[in-house]
Amino acid sequence: MVTRNFEAVVIGAGPGGYVAAIRLAQLGKKVALVEKESLGGVCLNWGCIPSKALIAAANLVEDVRGAAERGILADAPRVDVARLREFKNGVVKKLVGGVGQLEKGNGVEVIKGTARFVSPTAIEVTGAEAGGGEPLRVEAPAFVLATGARSIEIPGFAFDGKEVWSAREAVDLPELPKRLVVVGGGVIGLELGTVYAKLGSEVTFLEALPQILTGIDAEAVRLVQKGLRQRKATVHVNAKARGFEKKGKELVVKFEVDGAAQSVACDRILVAVGMKPVTDGLGLEAAGVKVGPKGFVEVDAQYRTSAPSVFAIGDLSGPPLLAHKASKEGEIAAEAIAGKKSARDWVAMPAAIFSDPEVAAVGLSEEQARAAGHEPMVGKFAFAALGRAIARDQTEGFVKVVGDKKTGLLLGVTICGPEASDLIAEAALALEMGAYVEDVALTVHAHPTLPEAFMEACKAALGEAIHALNRPERPARADRKT
């Protein structure tokens, strides 16, 4: 068996692992990056990136459909599924190629194959390109585990890639089913279900909990549901999917609402009920790496596991399951391996949901602020009152800011509306820099732009909004006399 030696080895080339490898190389380490599939992991190949390519294309379809209202006359758009898939594949190819070039340019050696620990400082890599049939032994004083997460499969809905899709198949756009049932009203279900609804499928969402997008601002969720209704999609909440039956070519999905059996017929089923960490086959016992009760690898603030030579980052090390969190953790772990004092210490971890309208949040919500002992002050500004939003004909949504009434510090921001996923960056920066609500209110924002809504919401929290009426605080509805 051939043995290779490195100063650090990263396992898994998603946005956690490939970033860790680059950072390690920048810090002077001789690094290998082991990946069994394609560079970029789920994010670049089957998740964030391809879904955004589809979302952008689906938005274009809707823009063309609604263009006549703004005096642009175009024929009714038709969707060429094969061409759209080609476009999406091109986007993925470009980015995956870019990662390959970055790794090469930084001197990272990419090893294609499947890794398994044989000791805390050695792995065996199997696979065609690893060691010519024989496993390759790779030794290093430090390893970064970044194997990510995979879709959870539930009883009655075994993924077959044909009739029952996981996100991976759905994002590949194998076809445009006439009727699609989406099991799970979480982030993936909403993002991909909305794409199919916009492209022309009749979509039904089944969500087991009392609301879709659990944990997200209730007002934002109401707007997302309104958007789904406008696209002829149906949402069932408190609806537990139990299985499906084939009746000819039709699939009949059975679900239960408050104990009552119901069913819905469709042509394809997308199951998006969460992700679980990928730890099987890694030989974690041989490395001495402990896994917590929910299957995530236990780590400290530098992402070191119970084995001092092994670090774990990204989806593998616990929620939230976000690509940008994985990348940040990759940088921290790499720096820790290089002897730096880096550790998890962020204030702000933004999250963005590419529903329609988009929803993005960072920091504390009003309830979370209250639970954390703050007396919250809240300011809100509706896009319906913002010049740029009106000019874009995208007025649905709002920016809501939460501050601490006593200190005036900004605690959190929720944005629902056009480009919320981009707009949240300013809020994340403000939180990370310890801004006061007043700092944002006093910052001059270019006009006419969408970020003005953040400034106005901060002004509103201070009772100084210019483009909305500032009302004195009203007691909660139940306590009002009028």
Among 183, 377, 424, 455, binds ligand NAD (CB under 6 A): 183
Q: Which of 236, 374, 445, 447 is catalytic?
A: 447
235 binds ligand NAD (CB under 6 A): no
> Under rule CB under 6 A, how many of the chain's residues touch ligand NAD?
29
Among 199, 278, 352, 378, binds ligand NAD (CB under 6 A): 352
353 binds ligand NAD (CB under 6 A): yes
189 binds ligand NAD (CB under 6 A): yes
Residue whose entry in the numeric block shows the structure tokens 């909403």: 190
What is the full DSSP assignment across 406-469? TT-BEEEEEEEETTHHHHHHHHHHHHHTT-BHHHHHHS---SS-TTHHHHHHHHHHTT--SSS-
- Which element (helix H / strand E) includes 247? strand 239-247
Q: Report the C-alpha gap between 192 and 273 in whole angstroms.
A: 13
Task: Kindly indicate which of the ranges 11-19, 111-119, 269-277, 371-379 contains the residues binding ligand NAD, using the contact rule CB under 6 A.
Answer: 269-277
Among 150, 240, 254, 445, binds ligand NAD (CB under 6 A): 240
Q: How many CB atoms lie within 10 A of CB 74?
A: 10
273 binds ligand NAD (CB under 6 A): yes
274 binds ligand NAD (CB under 6 A): yes
Q: Which residues 6+ apart lie within 8 Å of 211 measured at CB?
A: 185, 218, 221, 237
366 binds ligand NAD (CB under 6 A): no
**Closer residue to ligand NAD (CB): 155 or 472:** 155
Q: Report the C-alpha gap between 388 and 2 in whole angstroms.
A: 62
Q: Within 453-482, which residues bind ligand NAD (CB under 6 A)? A: none
Task: Kindly indicate which of the ranges 25-33, 102-110, 200-208, 410-418 contains the residues binding ligand NAD, using the contact rule CB under 6 A.
Answer: 200-208
Q: Report the C-alpha gap between 398 and 394 in whole angstroms.
A: 11
214 binds ligand NAD (CB under 6 A): yes
Do strands 250-257 and 239-247 pair parallel, antiparallel, or not at all (unpaired)? Answer: antiparallel
| 353 neighbors 216 (Cβ within 8 angstroms) | yes
Task: Kindly indicate which of the ranges 114-122, 234-242, 280-288, 403-411 contains the residues binding ligand NAD, using the contact rule CB under 6 A.
Answer: 234-242
Q: How many CB atoms lie within 10 A of CB 481?
A: 4
56 binds ligand NAD (CB under 6 A): no
Known catalytic residue at 236: no
Residues recognised as catalytic? 447
Q: What residue ranges bind ligand NAD (CB under 6 A)?
A: 154, 183-189, 191, 206-209, 214, 239-241, 272-275, 319-322, 351-354
